[in-house]
């Protein structure tokens, strides 16, 4: 689901369904086909459902999932993967039982080890910028050599290549690709441009 073929996972947050759909389309035009709809608004589930049903070539996941019930609702709305800010064993177990990929947030070695023991091999590293960034990921990777990470939180165009240059980083998540100011102005071309620029940076880093 999230792998080296999708090195950037943009975050979509909106109070309006049509705006969310337009944002997802703008990202897709820019070359990004894996999108995380964060559950931080009253309309988030409706936005998730609209994107999932209206964009056949886009893989849509739900982010900021805090409980197993939220995960179940998101899956019923079309979420193809689940992302959590922290490591909740009930969410992980629920998703694994249903065959849904889940990426819980971790920061410390103890959390990474718990995730490993739960059978996970790809996790979210969050909040990346405040938790040591690239140096911390390098340290974790020397111990957990088969674990892959998706840093999110503080990732930007300026440091994207630094993260993606690490062999242990499978992808980066970020909201810099969906600036609220541009979206409020209806400037979805700007979102497409940011997506294209980020994808070009990712390809350079991976080459």
pLDDT by residue (tens digit) across 8-23?
A: 999 999 999 999 999 9
* pLDDT value, residue 100: 98
CA distances to 49, 87, 112, 152 from 143, rounded to whole Å, are 39, 19, 10, 21
Answering whether pTM is above 0.85, one says yes
Instruction: Please report the pLDDT score of residue 132 as a whole number.
Output: 98
- Evaluate whether 173 touches 36 at the Cβ level (below 8 Å): yes
Confidence at residue 140, expressed as pLDDT on a 0 to 100 scale: 98
* 127-155 residue pLDDT tens: 999 999 999 999 999 999 999 999 999 99
CA–CA gap between residue 191 and residue 91 (Å, rounded): 31
- Counting Cα atoms < 13 Å in the Cβ hemisphere of 84 gives 26
How do the domains of the chain map onto residue ranges?
8-105+156-206
Per DSSP, which regions of the chain are E strands?
Answer: 8-12, 34-38, 59-63, 81-83, 101-103, 105-106, 122-125, 148-151, 172-174
Which pLDDT score is estimated for 40?
Answer: 95
**pLDDT for res 4:** 82
* Contact between residue 101 and residue 95 where contact means Cβ atoms under 8 Å apart: yes
Q: Pick the catalytic residue from 49, 72, 77, 124.
A: 124
Question: Which of 4, 22, 36, 49 is flagged as catalytic?
Answer: 36
Going by pLDDT thresholds of 50, 70 and 90, the confidence category of residue 166 is very high
Beta strands in 4-153 (DSSP E): 8-12, 34-38, 59-63, 81-83, 101-103, 105-106, 122-125, 148-151
181 is catalytic: no
Whether domain 8-105+156-206 has CATH 3.20.20.70: yes
C-alpha triplet 95, 155, 160: angle, nearest 5° = 105
> Is there a contact between 190 and 179 (Cβ–Cβ < 8 Å)?
yes
Of residues 55 and 88, the one with the higher pLDDT is 88
Q: What are 98's two structure tokens?
A: 């249903």
Q: What is the pLDDT of residues 50-60, one digit of tens each?
A: 999 987 789 99
- Read off the pLDDT band of 42 (50, 70, 90): very high
CB atoms within 10 A of CB 93: 14
Q: What is the pLDDT of residue 57?
A: 86
Q: In this predicted structure, what is the pLDDT of residue 54?
A: 84
164-186: average pLDDT: 97
Buried b vs exposed e over 53-77: b needs ≥16 C-beta within 10 Å? eebeebbbbbbbbeebebbbbbbeb
Across the chain, mean pLDDT equals 96
Higher pLDDT, 5 or 107: 107
How far is C-alpha 192 from the geometric centre of its chain's CA atoms? 17
Instruction: Identify whether 138 is a catalytic site residue.
Output: no
**Closest among 177, 181, 111, 180 to 149, alpha carbons compared:** 111
């Amino acid at each position: 689901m999230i792998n080296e073929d999708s090195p950037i996972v943009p975050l979509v947050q909106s109070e309006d369904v049509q705006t969310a759909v337009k944002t997802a389309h703008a990202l897709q035009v820019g070359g990004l086909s894996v999108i995380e709809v964060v559950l931080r608004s009253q309309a988030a589930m409706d936005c998730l459902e609209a994107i999932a049903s209206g964009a056949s070539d886009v893989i849509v996941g739900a982010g900021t999932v805090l409980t197993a019930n939220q995960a179940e609702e998101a899956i019923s709305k079309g979420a193809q993967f689940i992302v959590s800010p922290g490591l909740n064993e009930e969410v992980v177990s629920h998703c694994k039982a249903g065959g849904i990929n889940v990426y819980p947030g971790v920061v410390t070695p103890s959390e990474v080890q718990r995730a490993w023991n739960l059978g996970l091999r790809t996790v979210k590293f969050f909040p990346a910028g405040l938790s040591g960034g690239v140096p911390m990921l390098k340290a974790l990777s020397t111990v957990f050599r088969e674990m892959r990470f998706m840093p999110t939180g503080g990732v930007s165009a300026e440091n994207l290549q630094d993260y993606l240059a690490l062999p242990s980083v499978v992808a980066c998540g970020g909201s810099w690709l969906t600036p609220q100011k541009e979206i409020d102005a209806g400037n979805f071309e700007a979102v497409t441009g940011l997506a294209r620029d980020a994808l070009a940076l990712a390809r350079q880093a991976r080459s």
